[in-house]
Amino acid sequence: MKHPKDFSEFVYGSGTIKMEDEFAFISKISPKQTHQPSLICGIGDDAAVYRGAPNLDEVVCVDTMVEGIHFRRDTLTPFQIGKKGLAINVSDVAAMGAVPAFYLVSIAIPPTWTEEELGEVFKGMDEIAKQHNMDLIGGDTVSIKESLVLTVTVIGRVEKGRGLYRSSAKAGDLIFITGAVGSSAAGLDLLFEKGLNGDFNEKEQILVKSHQEPLPHVAEGRMLAYSQKRIALNDVSDGVASEANEIAEASQVKMIIEADKLPIHEAMNAYPLEKRLKWALFGGEDFVLIGTVPKEEAVELADQFQTQGHLFKIIGFVEAGPASVYIKQDDELKKLKKHGYNHFQKRG
């Protein structure tokens, strides 16, 4: 992690402290061991160095979380903020059928955060990293006047020719999903209603945890990559409607999702159907995988997933036509717009 060249002092916690303390903090959060044998030089130099491989493709993604926009401290603990910050990037790698290997963290810290809280953010990321044998190999640390900004870059690998893309769907394919949807949005609503330390019953706790600590579907992505079938794939970060539209646009096909086939966790059964569908289609942050597969190969994939204890649920089908997504409910079709969060949309 490099120091901010434009600052002679580093600001966080209750006041301004000298740059030496930044280095001490970086030393505290630097990994004491590594997991990837290809790593040559991690944190401690101007850049990280690792060996490439002739039979692998490198996969890189980056995501930024801004306090007050992507997370709030009354819905997530610092540990959960870090855990989620890395998990959302690992999910992007999973959607390519790849294995995450390395990550870098750039963090802009306001005076409202203490060193202890920042340490918890990195502990949260470390928990996800250990689950996938990932190494933290660098980043940057700067001061900011207000609102924590966390940017995470993840580097992964997939075997040459086995990467999975949104553009592979064709008419006649079936649409599948690898986990329940809408749980995260339901959990967020509960957190808004009751607060971080609210009195949640058993079912509500399931929904709250779905929002606070999502689990990226890396194993499922790897199974799909290894199947060597023609698969279009995306992760559900902005809701089923948005992610299906991205596949439809990339593949130039029409996708029909059947409402009664969407996997919705039983913990949501107490809510009206309309609300459950809204959360599933437009809520987002479930980080399961949605994709398409040729009809004749769907049963084999479903059997493989069941054998490994993973969900593989058919939720619709693909037709020829202009790029679009429809929801089928009670024999009626309704067009689903790409309804994800837009940072630059004008708001009233």
Q: Is 211 annotated as a binding residue?
A: no
Q: What is the per-residue pLDDT for 161?
A: 85
Q: What is the per-residue pLDDT for 40?
A: 75
231 φ, ψ to 5°?
Answer: -130, 130
Domain segments of the chain: what residues? 9-159, 166-335
What residues contact 199, with CB distance under 8 A and at least 6 apart?
none
Q: Which CATH class is domain 9-159?
A: alpha beta
Compute the distance between CA of residue 9 and CA of residue 76 in angstroms, rounded to an integer.
Answer: 29
Q: Is 126 annotated as a binding residue?
A: no
What does the pLDDT average to over 67-83? 95
pLDDT (tens digit, 9 = 90+) per residue, 152-162?
999 999 998 88
pLDDT(178) > 60? yes
- Average pLDDT of every residue of the chain: 88
Task: For the chain, give the percent of residues with pLDDT over 70.
Answer: 86
If pLDDT is split at 50, 70 and 90, which confidence band does 15 have? very low
Q: Is 63 annotated as a binding residue?
A: yes
Q: Is 46 annotated as a binding residue?
A: yes
244 near 175, Cβ under 8 Å?
A: yes
pLDDT(277) > 90? yes
Q: Which CATH class is domain 166-335?
A: alpha beta
Same fold, 9-159 and 166-335: no
pLDDT(329) > 50? yes
Q: Is 167 annotated as a binding residue?
A: no
pLDDT(32) > 80? no
Instruction: Order the strands of the 313-319 sheet from edge to edge.
Output: 232-235, 289-294, 173-177, 313-319, 254-258, 324-329, 332-335
Distances (CA, A) of 240 to 95, 175, 178, 245, 262: 14, 11, 12, 8, 10
Q: Is 238 annotated as a binding residue?
A: yes
The conformational region for residue 286 under phi > 0 = left, psi -120 to 50 = alpha, else beta, is: alpha
Q: Is 38 annotated as a binding residue?
A: no
Q: Is 139 annotated as a binding residue?
A: yes
User: Which of 184, 182, 196, 197 is closest to 84 using CA atoms?
Assistant: 184
Amino acid at 149: V
pLDDT (tens digit, 9 = 90+) per residue, 120-131?
999 999 999 999
46 near 3, Cβ under 8 Å?
A: no
Q: What is the per-residue pLDDT for 217?
A: 98
Q: Is 92 annotated as a binding residue?
A: yes
